[in-house]
Structure 1
């Protein structure tokens, strides 16, 4: 454990100063519970001004909403305790559902409104006529603490969130560089790379919440826009690099000759990734793109598996270069807060805004909290324990705090342990130290040492929960008033209620939510299979972007839930392949809308096969073996697309190789009948159909009659002025055919990695 930094000490001193200021004002105003103002300062304070302001604003709104609900519900239901308990539980559960359905800082409004109701309403059941005064005074105390925390945090050496964003993302850049270098070396599995993959996804998820606080940091709109663009590129890098891994391993790990210049190019890409981030070197990226274009195989070579594989690998490598250059440029612009950004990575999938939420698990989490609050209230009512309201209130707080976790019980138990420690510390202060305090200045001195030391640990994520609970609960349990008054039995009775409620919440969550991350991961994977099947349908263009965004967001939630492993068939790697299948299917759909009968029919057969396979996986709730018929359909589609591209490029029909009598399951090697060929044809070339005759010299003349392609939209018929002649669909641009070929290669490698050697470790020479 490293010692606190100067920044940590400064934050702790500022927070302690704000808390003492709030306590002094509350005592001067003779508020009934001045300690709540002090505790609120520690709840809302954050090392960054923007985070403090956003949390302060949302806590104020949530407190006022919960207090208003208490005033509304207590008078009509106080005479019916069980109905009242049900109303309180339902209110808390409903607001909790809204809170965990929002992954931005705005969720704090709903969270606070949810558990503020039991904090105010339950203690008021013995005196319902005073609920309005209780709601008003609690709101005043909390608002006082919020104002003090915001003013001191913003006026005394404010720490802006935007400049620190670069520091927070530097760890992501280091992990990303390591991840790319390992991938370019032919390694896609192992403890180190799996752990790196988890950290990359976790950082992307954390940035979503962090960026929602930037608007409260007086950040310029252009910097805020660039920060969101940076997160989007960071999110895209993982699946793009993953898509590059399979073709590279197939190229470098096989027995066939490696493409000339590819290994040197990959080595230079690795050097570029190792270059200092502060160094703007767009010229190096441009040179890499030029070398990638120079290695692109000729159109005629695309009819072979090796040529199609190399073209796909180079296309994805260029995407990696583009995305990494964008990430570096955005980081530099955010750090300098000046400059103009020209994005290099442009793709139709950009622009989707949809996020994935497992509504079933969210409802279950909220429902579990509702049941816990109602059962705890029923136990309190039946026991007649006067101070039992505090137990129910803290049980509600614990259930709300950790509802979004897959396994909340360990965190609830930590809440219980540190609350017990706070009771002991509060008792030590109340009965040993405070009797010797005679004025406010001495009180500040007595509080200074422990609260300042504890405050230095609040900014550290590993200590945040424990230290914040100690500071908040100790201030609350001491119950500081204008005049000293202490009774040991009263203190023990009232402050044992909180730990009792937390112990109940721990047992409840252990019983009702014992599943852990395994259940959440399994549900995420089944949902992803359903979306892969959905990706093979024909949604509107906008829906395609949102579908891609939703699948990518779900993958970022899934990866941190999967333990690091060196298994090449690990669910994290398989999930990346599922995402690539979906993305490739969306690419094929874009081509299909423009393709004629020959290419379109082959694409349709692939999409139907993919849809049936993933529907079968989702229905049986376990991953199924991919049928061999789908491999045949993909290979046939690749052959047709590559021939169509040759025809479009040369104006003549591509030569059709006779199918090998015993085609291997994986990528074919040169046929024995043609030893001079550098690589065999894509297997199979379309064995079920006869070869097409050679096309005439004129490109416009069709090689054989074809049925007109169905138009994308209804058009009015036009009467011909002369006898109709057989027509062909308009030729598909080469770039669409090349995109279709890349999508089919990626789909084949993702669905059948074992056929190309990408499901096992790469050969030693590929790891050198």
Structure 2
């Protein structure tokens, strides 16, 4: 006798309609997206036909290119596509006017423009890079067909611009009005999750509930969160007027979050260094006692109430000096430098954490509600660029455009301009993708499938169509499947190829076209373009994510310490925080999780953040304190030596930095005491010295493990 489990029996009792509903659960949003894309496609095509545009299919294809499930992303992409199309149209007219009846020179100028735009796309983030891509291949789409007929370039530019604008306007209107999926909701959820996660992390860390490994992984999570937050902020401003008004405050919140996370890591690095020397270190114990009330305040906070946690942090901040003084009295004089440095870090961290929650609370209130305390809201978010990758991208796009263009001119292929435009577009779009040859292969496969769909439409459906509604009914099933696949991220390249392969060869226009030869010629031209783009990435491989690029970016990450040491101080702190995190994230995204390389990278990132931030604050406080010339000379020499150390990993620079730090620390003592004006400077110097003396640090390992650590001198203030 077969035994049936209760779960199996319950499943058998579920009716088939319920089983279907369970299987389709969560598919509503995907099919709503498909509906909005199809509505935009056919609405754009209908309007283009009513207005008598020469190529309604261009407006329809534009919808495919900008489709996204979030309305804010559609609006952002449309905005930058408009800019790119306008700039590209102007450039096409200018280039053609400069080289009329000179195909080779026109092709050379076009190839240079395309290469520069492809490189520009790699230097920027968000959809601004997409604007560069559009500017590049718009020139190809307009200028190449006018090689032998330059007098038509202006008409081609106007037609292209109006048709693209129509597709963009229709897409923006549909996605912003018809059941919009607001990006601001994602931004709000991401922000709240990031802030709440960080507060919980601080709560657990200050109560001794987090081992070092978890703290390091949390740092990685927070770096990713801060970069994602900036990407969302840059797009949400297109859909939400209130978000535009408060965009600066959102950026300020992110900058304060990054500053607080760096400070917290510095504090724990100091405590960990003390505990590695002695698990029962008295200073480490005193510092943990000092920050425990902070953890208690965060544990008692009301979740999501940033005003409440700000009030609690104000109370903790007010009580910290008295608690620090009481704990300081229990420690020997020779250990006071360690304690004063840690207590100062905790005081600054609590202040920064309070400023972060204060900003988060202000963002939850409508409007701007007055200026924020202790803040300049003109904060910039900077990104890092691997110029070698940019150079390879420029070279690839230039050579592909020039070589294939010359081959096309010599062959006299009527549809060669279409193939050229497709190659140029794909090589530029895929340049920033980690595995562009894989995505290019997906697009080529998708285009092949779409070409079959288009052929079926042309031969079986189009001859029976006598109205626009019938056109919609006849072609929608093919496009429906293609668009639906785009809701599955791994299949997006296949979906894009299928959509373009269906719409491009059909060339929907004012009058039906049943020329199978022209259909095949145009379809094959675009397919050849996709295949040639794949070949281009095989011959000149992408360097994104390669070992060489990871090493270059890691070197550039170390060089951020030199930036902190030498760059002008105005706006340096937010620039350092954002660029160093961007560099770290670019490398770690292509590093196997949990690998030795990933752990080493994380250690470097933490070291760079700690040292760089301390150098910036040391330079600021040295200016504010008007330090004596002798101390200033030692500080300048130490800062320069640290910069050289992180650039070249030379033990000689390590010894020089320690020597000048020791001299500066000795000079800050005046008759055995530290003047009040020099206390902040002395604390920064001591923190730098503590970090450089850490024999277990990644810096010591990278410098050959033979960094000389002299005996501990005494600089304690009595």
TM-score by length of 1: 0.75
Residue 596, structure 1, aligned to residue 607, structure 2: no
Residues 287-311 of structure 1: per-residue CA shift (max 9 Å, x gap): 4334543442577889856433333
State the 1:17 CA deviation.
Answer: 1.6
Pairing 1:43–2:58 present: no
* Partner of residue 310, structure 1: 339
Contact between 1:749 and 1:756, CA under 8 Å: does it hold in 2? no
Question: What does 1:398-413 align with in structure 2 at a 5 Å threshold?
Answer: 398-405=426-433, 408-413=436-441
Q: What residue is the counterpart of 2:288 in the other structure?
A: 262
1:478–1:234 CA distance, 2 compared to 1 (3 A):
farther
Where 2:58 maps in the other structure, the secondary structure is helix
1:631 corresponds to which of 658, 683, 689: 658
1:246 Cα deviation from its structure 2 partner: 0.7
SS in 2 for 1:496: helix
2 CA distance for matches of 1:97 and 1:217?
A: 29
> Hey, what's the Cα distance between the residues in 1 that align with 2:40 and 2:483?
12
Give CA-to-partner distance per residue, 1:51-84, whole Å, 9 cap, x none: 4344334323332332333334346646443322
* Residue 528 of structure 2: aligned partner: 500
Query: Could you say what secondary structure the match of 1:754 adopts?
Result: coil
1:279–1:628 Cα change, 3 Å = same
Partner in structure 2 of residue 248 of structure 1: 271
2:588 counterpart of 1:556: no
Superposed CA offset, 1:488-547 (max 9, x none): 55433322222322222223223323433333333333334445335445x6542xx337
Q: Once structures 1 and 2 are overlaid, which stretch shifts more, 223-232 or 550-559? A: 550-559
> 2:400 maps to what in 1?
372
Contact 2:202 2:295 in 1 (8 A): no
| Local SS of the residue matching 1:627 | helix
Alignment match, 1:414: 442
What residue number does 1:26 align with?
48
Instruction: Label 1:456 to 1:432 Cα distance change in 2 as closer, same or farther (>3 A).
Output: same
Evaluate the alpha carbon distance shift between residue 302 and residue 471 of structure 1 in structure 2; reply closer, same or farther with a 3 A threshold: farther
Cα 1:17–1:405, aligned 2, differ >3 Å: closer, same or farther? closer
Greater shift, 362-371 or 746-755, is seen at 746-755
- Bigger CA radius of gyration: 1
How far apart are 1:397 and its partner, in Å?
0.4
2:162 is matched with: 140
2:641 counterpart residue number: 609
Residues 728-755 of structure 1 show CA distances to partners (whole Å, capped at 9, x for unaligned) of: xxxx862x43322332233234333336
Alignment partner, residue 699 of structure 1: none
User: Which of 588, 611, 614 lines up with 1:581 in the alignment?
Assistant: 611
C-alpha displacement of 1:229: 1.6
SS at match of 1:565: coil
SS at match of 1:741: helix
Does structure 2 conserve the Cα–Cα contact (< 8 Å) formed by 1:569 and 1:759?
no
User: Cα–Cα, structure 1 residues 176 and 429, in superposed 2: closer, same or farther, change >3 Å?
Assistant: farther
Task: Give 1:79-478 correspondences, 5 Å limit.
Answer: 79-103=101-125, 105-125=127-147, 127-173=149-195, 176=198, 180=202, 185=208, 190=213, 196-220=218-242, 222-253=245-276, 254-257=278-281, 258-260=284-286, 262=288, 265-266=291-292, 269=295, 272=298, 277-280=303-306, 281=308, 282-290=310-318, 292-296=320-324, 306-337=335-366, 340=369, 351=379, 355-405=383-433, 408-449=436-477, 451-452=479-480, 455=483, 458=486, 464-478=492-506
Cα RMSD (Å) of the superposition?
4.0
Q: Structure 1 unaligned runs (5+)?
A: 618-622, 648-652, 655-731, 761-768
Contact 1:455 1:467 in 2 (8 A): yes
Deviation of 1:116 after TM superposition, in Å, equals: 0.5
> Would the aligned equivalents of 1:249 and 1:757 in 2 still touch at CA under 8 Å?
no
Which structure 2 residues correspond to residues 499-538 of structure 1 after superposition, within 5 A?
Answer: 499-517=527-545, 518-533=547-562, 535-537=564-566
Cα distance in 2 between the residues matched to 1:414 and 1:144: 29
* 8 A Cα contact 2:505 2:520, kept in partner: no
Q: Deviations over 1:382-423 (max 9, x none)?
A: 444332222221111012213345654443333333333332
- The CA deviation string for residues 335-364 of structure 1, in whole angstroms up to 9 with x for no partner, is 4435747757769x9956665444454344
Alignment pair present for 1:746 and 2:684: no
| Aligned counterparts of 1:103 and 1:457: Cα–Cα separation in 2 | 26
Shift of 1:325: 4.0
- Counterpart Cα distance in 2 of 1:757 and 1:558: 15
More helix by share: 2
Contact 1:616/1:624 (CA < 8 Å) preserved in 2? no
Contact in 2 for aligned 1:250/1:757 (Cα 8 Å): no
- Distance in 2 (alpha carbons) for counterparts of 1:277 and 1:635: 46
Question: Alpha-carbon deviation of 1:194?
Answer: 5.6
Contact 1:580/1:746 (<8 A) preserved: no
- How far apart, in 2, do the equivalents of 1:166 and 1:599 lie? 48
Q: Is the 8 A contact 2:122 2:432 kept in 1?
A: yes
The change in CA–CA distance for 1:452 and 1:239 in structure 2 (over 3 A counts) is farther
Shift of 1:261: 7.4
Deviation at 1:574, TM superposition (A): 1.3
CA separation in 1, counterparts of 2:698 and 2:82?
58
Q: Shift in Å at residue 581 of structure 1?
A: 2.0
- Asked if the contact 1:354/1:546 (under 8 Å) is kept, the reply is no
Structure scoring higher RCO (CA < 8 A, sep ≥ 6) equals 1
Cα separation, 2, equivalents of 1:477 and 1:401:
21
Query: What CA distance in whole angstroms lies between the structure 1 residues aligned with 2:699 and 2:389?
Result: 35
Q: How far did residue 90 of structure 1 move?
A: 0.9
With over 3 angstroms needed to count, the CA separation of the structure-2 counterparts of 1:260 and 1:513, relative to structure 1, is same
Greater Cα shift, 474-483 or 386-395: 474-483
For residues 132-188 of structure 1, give each alpha carbon's deviation from its aligned partner in whole angstroms, at most 9, with x where no partner exists. Answer: 333332222222212222333334344544344202334534654576567655868
**Partner SS for 1:385:** coil
1:15 correspondence with 2:37: yes
SS in structure 2 of the partner of residue 516 of structure 1: coil
Shift, 1:482, TM fit: 4.1
